[in-house]
A = this chain, B = another copy of it.
Amino acid sequence: MANPKNFGIKDIARAAGVSVGTVDRVLHNRGKVSEIALKKVNEVLQKNEYRPNLIARTLGSNKNYKIVVLQPEPADDPYWSLVSQGIEQSMKEWIHYGVTISCCYFSLHRKSSFESVAAKALKLKPDAILLAPILYVETISFLRVLKEKQIPFALFNTNITETDALSFIGQDLYSSGRLAGELICLGQTGAGRFGVLHVDEDLNDSIHLVQKEKGFRDFIAGFYPFRHTVESLNRTSSTDSSFRKKLIQLLSQPDLKGIFVSSSRGTETAASILKSQDKGNIRLVGYDLLKKNIAYLKEGVIDFLIHQNPQQQAVEGINCLANHLIFKRVAKRVNLFPLEVITSQNLESYIQDQAEYTSVNSVI
């Protein structure tokens, strides 16, 4: 077994009887190399299990890359400002490697904004794109353009499997709905009613919400042994006043077992209504460690939060693309995040700062 720190291209060249220039050409499939030299070098590479020193490679290389992120407007929803935090973190880290990162925001309430934002992103001449495909229809057509232009891209938050994405970074949303079902059913007995809430999003274009609900319904149908019904309530915009009335009506049902809310912001809205109706004893499962959700969790209004960890999704999306660009690293098609269950007793362990330094894999 070679000592990886000491066996470099000079040693390869010496052993193969060629110059370091030829070794470089073989390693990078660059220029022209004779069959004889190619064979000799490859034999030495294989025999010694050569691994390039990626630190030296980075230092010696002189390329710059640009990554553009397309995501919903953070000012509209604190969930997406967590993503922005992850992006800012990544900017600071990757600048040393000659990678610059830019953000383009589209509005979830004006779907038409997606197209002009996407055009703007392309104007920036990105080497790669990280995209949260929240708007299914608009995203598909944009991805067609990326394919034409041969711009590599990765998806996060929501997966669209019928694309050529380098990678998807995020949770299995169907399974997160099943998990919510499991957490709501635990310890429950007797015939019952379950609620699913979707708040402030167009259900028809938001496959992530559809998948979550399906997971929830499938779990209840398959595992809750008593007679039950599952009802869905949607609020399409914050000016829709019938939603509150319908939820209050649902809360007054004596057989109500629990409520699953499909988004982080919706969780906050539902918790607020449950609290004001003095219904904090109803089992409530929602998403994400937004400030207000944390407060409701501590009060016991919310029983469980499923942590989507959007910040880390963004970080790992950038890492995936940067590794692809710089190191030509093969990406995992699906980088599945754990479905993290947050309760009042493990909350503190999640909101403390995570480890400052983690694996060095990203540069090796």
B338–A346 contact, CB under 8 A?
yes
B186–A319 contact, CB under 8 A?
no
**Is A141 an interface residue, CB under 8 A from the partner?**
no
A219 surroundings in chain B (CB, below 8 A)? 345
B329–A352 contact, CB under 8 A?
no
A339–B332 contact, CB under 8 A?
no
**Is A251 an interface residue, CB under 8 A from the partner?**
no
**Bound complex: CA of A338 vs CA of B341, how far in Å?**
10
A359 surroundings in chain B (CB, below 8 A)? 89, 93, 315, 319, 357-358, 362
A230 surroundings in chain B (CB, below 8 A)? none
**Bound complex: CA of A316 vs CA of B357, how far in Å?**
7
**Is A151 an interface residue, CB under 8 A from the partner?**
no
**Is A75 an interface residue, CB under 8 A from the partner?**
no
**Bound complex: CA of A338 vs CA of B364, how far in Å?**
27
**Bound complex: CA of A54 vs CA of B348, how far in Å?**
33
**Is A35 an interface residue, CB under 8 A from the partner?**
no
**Is A340 an interface residue, CB under 8 A from the partner?**
yes
Given the interface pairs A341-B343, A352-B336, the reply to whether A95 lies near B5 with Cβ below 8 Å is yes
**Is A107 an interface residue, CB under 8 A from the partner?**
no
Given the interface pairs A98-B5, A360-B363, A362-B357, the reply to whether A349 lies near B175 with Cβ below 8 Å is yes
A355 surroundings in chain B (CB, below 8 A)? 169, 316, 319, 332, 335
**Is A81 an interface residue, CB under 8 A from the partner?**
no
**Bound complex: CA of A297 vs CA of B233, how far in Å?**
33
B341–A341 contact, CB under 8 A?
yes
Q: Shortest Cβ distance from A260 into chain B, in angstroms?
A: 13
A353 surroundings in chain B (CB, below 8 A)? 332
B53–A96 contact, CB under 8 A?
yes
Interface string of A2-46 (1 = CB under 8 A from B): 011100000000000000000000000000000000000000000
Interface 9-residue window, one of A124-132, A177-185, A195-203, A269-277: A177-185
Q: Shortest Cβ distance from A356 into chain B, in angstroms?
A: 6
Interface 9-residue window, one of A55-63, A115-123, A157-165, A241-249: A55-63
A357–B349 contact, CB under 8 A?
no
Among B94, B98, B283, the residue within 8 A (CB) of A360 is B94
**Bound complex: CA of A97 vs CA of B54, how far in Å?**
11
**Bound complex: CA of A268 vs CA of B340, how far in Å?**
23
With a 10 A CB-CB cut-off, give which of A176, A346, A364 has the most chain B CB atoms.
A346
- Which single residue of chain B is at the shortest CB-CB distance from A324? B357
**Bound complex: CA of A338 vs CA of B348, how far in Å?**
8
A179–B346 contact, CB under 8 A?
yes
**Is A323 an interface residue, CB under 8 A from the partner?**
yes
Among B59, B179, B352, the residue within 8 A (CB) of A56 is B59
**Bound complex: CA of A223 vs CA of B94, how far in Å?**
47
**Is A85 an interface residue, CB under 8 A from the partner?**
no
**Is A288 an interface residue, CB under 8 A from the partner?**
no
A332 surroundings in chain B (CB, below 8 A)? 353, 355-356
Chosen A-B contacts, 28 in total, with CB atoms closer than 8 Å, are A5-B96, A53-B59, A55-B58, A55-B96, A59-B59, A93-B360, A93-B361, A171-B349, A172-B349, A176-B346, A178-B345, A182-B343, A182-B345, A315-B358, A316-B357, A316-B358, A319-B355, A319-B359, A332-B356, A337-B349, A338-B349, A339-B346, A341-B346, A356-B361, A357-B361, A358-B362, A359-B362, A362-B362
